[in-house]
Amino acid sequence: MADLKKTQKQHQDEYISRINKAIDYIEQNLNNELSLNTVAEKANFSPFHFHRLFGSIIGETLNQFINRLRLEKAASQLLNNPKKMITEIAFDCGFSGSATFARAFKNMFGISATNWRDNGYKKNSKICKTENKISQSRNKIWKESTISAMYIDPVNNNLNWRINMLDKANIQIEVKDVPERHIAYVRHIGPYKGDYNLFENMFNKLSKWAAPRDLLQFPKTEMMCIYYDDPGITAEDKLRVDACITISPETPVDGSIGKATVPGGKFAVAHFEIDSDEYESAWKVIYGDWLPQSGFQPDDRPCYELYLNNPKEHPENKHIVDIYVPVKPL
């Protein structure tokens, strides 16, 4: 019986691995044509069987999944790139024309792309539906923050900001060029907000795989989480997050452990020492307080958190974390 369960688990992990490879390929090629045959080939399934498997495992057909990611990417770009033409955004997100994009966007969000950009998203976004509640919560925890100084680091020539918090230690944000990172990951699709046990279980699973392979060599090995979706746009049950450790590019993976390369480039790196329930507030300091005054805008690459300590070993159980947000000049 034990052998049977082990075999079944191995088979299940193989399916997860193949589906994750397909999702990784889709994420990296949303602006290109994504045919069933091409994506199925990445997962090493026949197109006929892949179509059924993908729908059963992910809960959406392949076309629905691709279309949703493209529209969510477009919705985010409409807000983050106010000077970019809507037609240009449509093409950049993989749509064949502006008319096709317009119909698809209105069908998903209930309003036109123009109205979405002109604050119509506030009536449709989950973030804005709970805006007052979040704002009140944030004010209780963080109160008001102000940018007190901007300076250039004479050592590395990077731009730095110091943000004064009324009831917290000052926060340092640095814009710098970051190299790409090679990672092994465990993926979760679904709700994750405030679920500390979920993240702990994901990292435990990753560690159990990595430790026997001598891949946990701290501080050389880095632990991080990558976030692919905007919780204000993407439905909670479709949010994607990867718990990751850095590895060398030649490291083999197996089963449900995936492997990917995190793009490098220019990032805003914000350093925090926070409680477990303050992550959302930390992200809001970056997007709500720093970004609008910085001269930068979000770039189209994943954000991630880089964990610098074990909170259980901290005298106050604090989480020391660097939040990486990809940016480009306005």
* pLDDT tens per residue across span 278-313: 898 888 888 877 887 788 888 888 899 999 999 999
- Helices 47-58 and 2-28 cross at an angle (nearest 10°) of 100
Does residue 8 register a pLDDT over 80? Answer: no
Same domain, 267 and 215: yes
Q: Would you place residue 77 in the very low, low, confident or very high pLDDT band (cuts 50, 70, 90)?
A: very high
Q: Which pLDDT value is given to residue 295?
A: 82
Q: Decide: residue 69, CB within 10 A, 0-12 exposed, 13-18 middle, 19+ buried.
A: buried
- Whether residue 167 has pLDDT greater than 80: no
Domain with 101 in it: what CATH number?
Answer: 1.10.10.60
Count the neighbouring beta carbons within 10 Å of the beta carbon of residue 328: 14
Please give the pLDDT value at position 88: 95
Domain match, 100 and 238 both:
no
| In a shared domain, residues 92 and 212 | no
Question: Could you tell me if residue 293 is inside a domain?
Answer: yes
pLDDT at 135 > cutoff 80: no
Whole-angstrom distance, CA of residue 30 vs CA of residue 171: 35
Of 65-79, 108-122, 174-188, minimum mean pLDDT range: 108-122
**Has residue 301 been placed in a domain?**
yes
Could you list the beta-strand ranges (E) of 199-274: 223-227, 240-246, 258-262, 265-274
Cα–Cα distance between 227 and 242 in angstroms, integer? 7
Mean pLDDT, rounded, for 25-42: 94
For residues 310 and 211, membership in a common domain is answered with yes
Q: How many CB atoms lie within 10 A of CB 116?
A: 23
| Alpha carbons 18 and 56: distance in angstroms, whole number | 14
Asked, for residue 229, whether it belongs to a domain, the answer is yes
pLDDT for the residue 145? 54
At 158 the pLDDT is: 74
What is the band of 142 on the pLDDT scale with cuts at 50, 70, 90? very low
* pLDDT over 90 at 86, yes or no: yes
For the cut 80, the answer to whether the pLDDT of residue 41 exceeds it is: yes
Residue 179, pLDDT > 90, answer yes
| Residues 234-282 pLDDT 10s | 889 999 999 999 999 999 998 899 999 999 999 999 999 999 888 988 8
Pair 175, 267: CB distance under 8 Å: yes
pLDDT digits (tens, 9 = 90+) for 204-239: 999 999 999 999 999 999 999 999 988 878 889 999
Could you give the percent of the chain with pLDDT greater than 70? Answer: 83
Choosing from 99, 123, 147, the residue where a domain stops is 123
Least confident span in 167-171, 210-214, 318-322, 326-330: 167-171
DSSP type of residue 309:
S
8 A C-beta contact, residue 51 and residue 36: yes
The confidence score (pLDDT) of residue 197 equals: 92
CATH no. for residue 315?
3.20.80.10
Question: Are 109 and 249 part of one and the same domain?
Answer: no
pLDDT over 90 (residue 56) = no
- Is it true that the peptide bond before 231 is cis, omega within 30 degrees of 0? no
| Residues 199-207: contacts with CB under 8 Å, at least 24 apart | 199/225, 199/243, 202/243, 203/243, 205/243, 205/256, 206/243, 206/244, 206/245, 206/257, 207/245
Residues 194 and 75 occupy one common structural domain: no
Tally of domains within the chain: 3
Q: Are residues 44 and 72 located together in one domain of the fold? A: no
Residue 24 has pLDDT above 50, yes or no: yes
- Is the pLDDT at 182 greater than 50, yes or no? yes
Residue 20 in any domain: the answer is: yes
Q: Which residues constitute the domain of residue 10?
A: 2-59
**What pLDDT shows up at residue 287?**
82
- Are 93 and 196 contained in the same domain? no
Question: Which residues are within 8 A (CB) of 275 and not within 5 positions of it... i.e. 6 or more apart?
Answer: 317, 318, 319
Q: Within this chain, do residues 181 and 254 fall inside the same structural domain, yes or no?
A: yes
Q: Is residue 8 part of a domain?
A: yes
pLDDT of residue 258: 95
Q: Are residues 193 and 291 in the same domain?
A: yes
* Domain boundary, last residue among 123, 139, 165: 123
Answer yes or no: do 21 and 77 share one domain.
no
240/253 Cα distance (integer angstroms): 20
Asked whether the predicted pLDDT for residue 137 surpasses 90, the reply is: no
Query: Are 12 and 106 part of one and the same domain?
Result: no
Arithmetic mean of pLDDT over the chain: 85
Structure tokens of 5? 């369960």
